[in-house]
Amino acid sequence: MSRERLAALLSEKRSYPPPVHGRTQAWISDGEEYEAICRRALEDPEDFWGARASQLLHWFKRWNRVLVADEARHKYRWFTGARLNASFNCIDRHLISGRRNKAALIWQGEQEMDVRCHTYQMLYTEVCRVAHALSSLRIRKGDHVALYMPMIPELIIAMLACARIGAIHVTIFSGYAEGGVRGRIQDSRARIVITADAALRAGKIKPLKANLDPILEKCPSVAHVVVVSHARLNNVSMKSNRDVWWHDLIDDFTLNSDFPCEPMDANDTLFLLHTSGSTGKPTGIMHSTGGYLTYAAHTTQWCFDVRDDDVYWCTADVGWITGHTYGIYGPLALGATTLMFEGVPAWPKPDRYWSIVEKFRVNILYTAPTVIRSLMRLGEAWTERYDLSSLRILGTVGEPINPEAWQWYHKHIGNGELPIVDTWWQTETGGAMISPMPYATKLKPGSAARPLPGIDAAVMDAADTDGEEGREVGRLVIRGPWPGMMLGVFNDEEKYRSYFSRFGCYESGDGAQVDEDGYFWILGRIDDSINVSGHRLSTVEIEAILTACPEVAEAAVVPMPHSLKGEAIYAFVVPREDAPWSEDLRAKLREAVRRDIGPLASPERIQFTRAMPKTSSGKIIRRLLRKIAAGAEDTGDATSLANPEIIADIVRGRKNLIQGKAEDAPAEKDQKID
């Protein structure tokens, strides 16, 4: 692998100082202050985290010790002996602090006129009613409640109601197919499933309750199903003595029905969330009440400089960790206004995000590089229709953002002025680990900047040593505990230990490079390589070269079986909207790889496609692409896909490519500007 070429390709010469306007009101206002905080956090982490926990949350009982560590078993317990409740911190305390009638949640449905707003008082009322309802169904502290729901307010209400009574919520992305839903319910042994009649997505109705019924035949732990009437479907099958409508259940409880919060131990599990998993087998990550909530509030406040009058929009689905931390728990713990959107970025037109920003005067926008690249492909004319001047901070999450997309986001959405908070983190970490501070950090397009205060990140090589001068490509690790880290893996101690087995500290599985300023450049999964004739070639390196070509929007490189080489390189490429799907473009891409790496890395096949198979958080599911490249027509479990329909297109495209036929290019200018 040519690390020098990879470093040269990913290193950006341009940098941007933090904005001056707004700096005096920022939580962290300059680089010197930030450096002092970082030093203090590493020198005395327990004092630092104890102070942040005291500042950010209400505790029914204070802790005996900030951290108790069992280094031999890599078990870390934060704020031991303390008691609190997440629902109380996200709702109740704001009722007596002047925020009773402040908007807590603004919900924009798929239809333009479908809008709901909950003040903190209104949210409190609904959460208490649902807590009563769950209690009436004999749900108690420690029970698991599965939430298989679309992006509607009832999802947030159900999560906070579970937290209120001490039940553990297991949120299941509504885009999952049968295997993904069944596996998560079975793994958690959920006693109740809360769902909806259907989800609305891009003008289509996707039944949820009808999908759930056959799944539950193999889930004996489920005693009740609560159904929200969202799409107003007729003839929804309701099983006697098991199924109940949400509105019928909560109507039994009056609007002034208070429900006291269950005092939870700081290390009681708040929720269980399964990762999508690179192998297709979900991993049930457990997060604590005290440590997780502290870290969620801490990173939301500092990374996004959240102020009391901000409208904060994290576009992630709540079925993923980003939606948990930065859509719900972080903003609501701070008493902020959080925005929830049911639809998709480009429906009914590619201006949907920008119209929402203008409509609700959004101040903070946190989205995925995949979304940015897809909207970039459709052109900036869509953004120019709207007043985006309310925006103050931009953010990205889910994968490394390439410098070109960063520049587009900065120029056309941020007007060349706004800071971009490019965050690196994982389901297991609970919150952002490496990120700029919007008013204190110099920005480098494509870099996640430096570890946050209290986070001891490093790049390690296979020999268990720091890379030479910190500039080598290696494995990204976190060398010390932090409050947001996972409690463990549900019913799988061996899997939990595997995160610490190589270096004796948390290994992320991602590759990274650190430059001379201490900035981290995240390079994706480090084990993504292809063995061509005994030579291991980095898929990240090849993908970076392909996406550097102006005609390419996205690229994913996977191995394919080869009778002589063992493995050969198969590249899936999404061309830009105005780029032709031509043999000339294939030749240009091959030449770019041959020129920058060498003939050995030249792709055996390059298949054009209109989109990649992805999770809703923007992660390309390469295991499915590997199967297709190997010739499989049945790709198996595609439950973590946000766009399952693309699989058939890609399989058909491979057949056409093998047979020498042209792929099915999309119709020219699918979306025209009125």
**C-alpha pair distances (Å), 254 with each of 137, 181, 230, 250:** 17, 33, 22, 8
Which of 23-37, 116-130, 634-648 shows the highest mean pLDDT?
Answer: 116-130
Phi–psi pair at 279, nearest 5 degrees: -95, -5
The residues pairing with 521 across neighbouring beta strands, listed in sequence order, are 513
The residues pairing with 393 across neighbouring beta strands, listed in sequence order, are 364
DSSP string, 5-26: HHHHHH--S--BPPPSTTGGGS
Tens-digit pLDDT profile for residues 471-481: 557 899 999 99
Given the candidates 3.40.50.1110, 3.30.300.30, 3.40.50.410, 3.30.230.80, the CATH classification of the domain at 529-658 is 3.30.300.30
pLDDT at 33 exceeding the cut of 80: yes
Tens-digit pLDDT profile for residues 297-353: 999 999 999 999 999 999 999 998 999 999 999 999 999 999 999 999 989 999 999
Tell me the whole-structure pTM to 2 decimals: 0.83
Asked if 435 and 448 count as a contact pair (C-beta separation under 8 A), the reply is: yes
403 band by pLDDT with thresholds 50, 70 and 90: confident
- Give CA–CA dist 482/291, Å, rounded: 8
pLDDT at 4 exceeding the cut of 60: no
Asked if 284 and 492 count as a contact pair (C-beta separation under 8 A), the reply is: yes
Domains of the chain, residue spans: 529-658
Question: E-assigned strands of 281-333?
Answer: 283-288, 311-314
- Give CA–CA dist 285/460, Å, rounded: 24
511 band by pLDDT with thresholds 50, 70 and 90: confident
pLDDT at 637 exceeding the cut of 80: no
494 band by pLDDT with thresholds 50, 70 and 90: very high
Tens-digit pLDDT profile for residues 249-304: 998 887 778 999 999 999 999 999 998 544 446 789 999 999 999 999 999 999 99
